[in-house]
Amino acid sequence: MHLAAEWAFGDANVQVTHIPFKGGTGPLTELLAGRLDVMVDTMTLTASLLKDQRVRAIAVTSPPGASPVAGVPAISDQYPGVVFESWLGIAAPASTSPELLEKLNKEIRWVLSQEDVRQKLISFGGSPNASSSNEFKMRVERDIRNLKKVIQDKKIELE
């Protein structure tokens, strides 16, 4: 999320101070207490707080026109190319046979096609989508390229 924030704020030419936290709930606690002005996080963490109106979404990092929050713009609507979506993936050892990978992928797709599973994921702010092994690989590679550019442009270093 740090890199997504650097990317979005950097393209918008907005100056912010990054405050590192250990774990995902720390910044949320500080935001709710009024000690942080803004944070960038996943919909799965903030969806219920948005529904309860305990936090307000300013923008999302979804693709243009694909905001998961009604009335909230995507940053990419104003700053094309600034798209970052968090995701969860399932990986297997590189030595796993293509046949077994295909069988696992088929079963995962089946689970994600179940309406109760889909609705549960949506209620958490997720977007249940399955992909092939190659599509997943391409997504990871794209995210690495995009975030590597942010790291280089912002001169971010490990402390």
For residue 141, which phi and psi values (nearest 5 degrees)?
Answer: -60, -40
- % of the chain beyond a pLDDT of 90: 33
pTM for this one?
Answer: 0.75
Closest CA to 7 of 73, 83, 111: 83
For residue 63, which phi and psi values (nearest 5 degrees)?
Answer: -60, 160
What's the confidence (pLDDT) of residue 55?
92
Residue 143 above 80 pLDDT?
yes
What's the confidence (pLDDT) of residue 104?
93
Cβ(117)–Cβ(85) below 8 Å: no
pLDDT digits (tens, 9 = 90+) for 64-74: 877 778 888 88
DSSP alpha helix (H) spans, the chain: 2-11, 25-32, 43-51, 75-78, 98-113, 115-123, 133-154
For residue 61, which phi and psi values (nearest 5 degrees)?
Answer: -100, 20
